[in-house]
Amino acid sequence: MAKQSQWGQWFEEKVFKPLEDKKMPVMEHLHEFQHRLTRAVVVMALVFVGTFFYADTLVTWLRVPLQNFFILDSWEWVPSDLPKIPLVFLAPAEALWQNVKVAGLCAIVLTTPYWLWEIWQFVVPGLHAQERRFVAPFTAISTVAFFLGLTFCFFFVLPFALHFLLSYGLASGFIAQISIAQFVGFILWFLLVFGLIFEVPLALTLMAKLGWVDAPLLRRYRKWAFLGSFLFAAILTPTPDPFNQCIMAIPMYFFYEVGIISAQIFGKKKPQESSDSTPVPSSAPAVARPVVQPAGAVNAGDDDYVSVPDSGPR
């Protein structure tokens, strides 16, 4: 029992006490986190109930890149030359489950500003003033970057990727009948990955701001970043074809280069060395040495100074 009490006392002093805030103890932090998480889940569930009634419309919108191209000049969708491709389901609950998946993802996206606000309200009391000024723009920019990634993938990446894959299969003599589960999983996975790819410059800027990396270090690892982009793309793409791998790897490396520029501009500045060569004082105390002057010399600074007599031969 004595040993257990010693371990408990050590654990309380080394683990719990450093976590204690001057204004709020650990348990109150946990209760506040529980309340905020509960509110975020309730709001997300309510939005999910609303989006589920429009799940069929959402799935219809997900089918738009399947046989259409988005024309940037006229800002409209133009049908491609592919024949009409039906979506089939291979299990009794497959169609219902895909509607639930799409409605859930839509609810998460729509409630993103709210649960980001809840996270901000939970974290902000423990931040300094300068940290608050830094975290707020970072959160806002990361949200905008994620939505830009979703938009870019839906309007530009998915039409070309789907058109290439389906044209290859039809040219080989196969009949296109796509499972709704495979199609929805393919679309949602691409959207998620490209949303995260657009976060790469922001992540590199944050690491540079914290002093973990800098622009010269990122430039030194360009070749490894290029290789890693294709390796990650090969892992993340749901299909093994090199076309989709290049579609995902090239933007990933492009945003790595954008991250280098951003790290150069917003990174942590290193203190510059002074051009004047100032001597570094030694840690040992300096010992005053007497100045040897010839016999009979008079020190102009101190009249009481007695010079050392010359002991050499006269």
Q: Is the pLDDT of residue 44 over 90?
A: yes
Q: Report the candidate in 136, 144, 141 with the shortest Cα–Cα distance to residue 119.
A: 136
Helix (H, G, I), strand (E, B) or coil at 70: strand
Q: Report the candidate in 268, 252, 237, 250 with the shortest Cα–Cα distance to residue 199.
A: 252
Q: What is the mean pLDDT of the chain?
A: 78
Give the pLDDT confidence score for residue 142 in this predicted structure: 84
Are residues 190 and 153 in contact, defined by beta-carbon separation less than 8 angstroms? Answer: yes
Percentage of the chain exceeding pLDDT 70:
74
Give the pLDDT confidence score for residue 154 in this predicted structure: 92
Strands (DSSP E) along 102-142, which ranges?
A: none
Give the pLDDT confidence score for residue 239 in this predicted structure: 66
Alpha-carbon gap, residue 194 to 254, rounded angstroms? 13
Please provide residue 78's backbone torsions phi and psi, each rounded to the nearest 5 degrees.
-120, 130
| Residue-range domain boundaries for the chain | 21-198, 210-269
Alpha-carbon gap, residue 85 to 167, rounded angstroms? 11
Q: Report the candidate in 244, 258, 144, 273 with the shortest Cα–Cα distance to residue 200.
A: 258
What does the pLDDT average to over 52-61?
A: 90
Q: Which pTM value belongs to this model?
A: 0.68
Alpha-carbon gap, residue 314 to 311, rounded angstroms? 9
Confidence of residue 233 (pLDDT cuts 50, 70, 90): confident
* pLDDT tens readout for residues 285-313: 555 555 555 554 444 444 444 454 455 55
DSSP H stretches of helix in 210-241 = 215-220, 222-236
- 77-81, 86-90, 137-141, 260-264: range with lowest mean pLDDT: 137-141
Return the half-sphere exposure (C-beta side, CA atoms, 13 A cut-off) of residue 72.
Answer: 5
- 24-38, 45-59, 154-168, 244-258: range with lowest mean pLDDT: 24-38
C-alpha R_g of the chain: 34
Return the half-sphere exposure (C-beta side, CA atoms, 13 A cut-off) of residue 186.
Answer: 20
Q: Which DSSP symbol is given to 40?
A: H
Count Cβ atoms below 10 Å from residue 202 Cβ, excluding itself: 19
Classify the C-alpha dihedral 42-44-45-51 as positive or negative.
Answer: positive
Alpha-carbon gap, residue 256 to 202, rounded angstroms? 10
Q: Indicate the burial class of 307 (C-beta count within 10 angstroms; 0-12, 13-18, 19 or more).
A: middle
Give the pLDDT confidence score for residue 285 in this predicted structure: 52
Residues 6+ apart with CB under 8 A from 97: 181
Q: Report the candidate in 286, 297, 268, 58 with the shortest Cα–Cα distance to residue 180.
A: 58
Three state DSSP letters for 175-198: CCCEEHHHHHHHHHHHHHHHHHHC
What does the block give as tokens for 76?
């409209």
Angle between helices 129-152 and 180-197 (to 10 degrees): 140
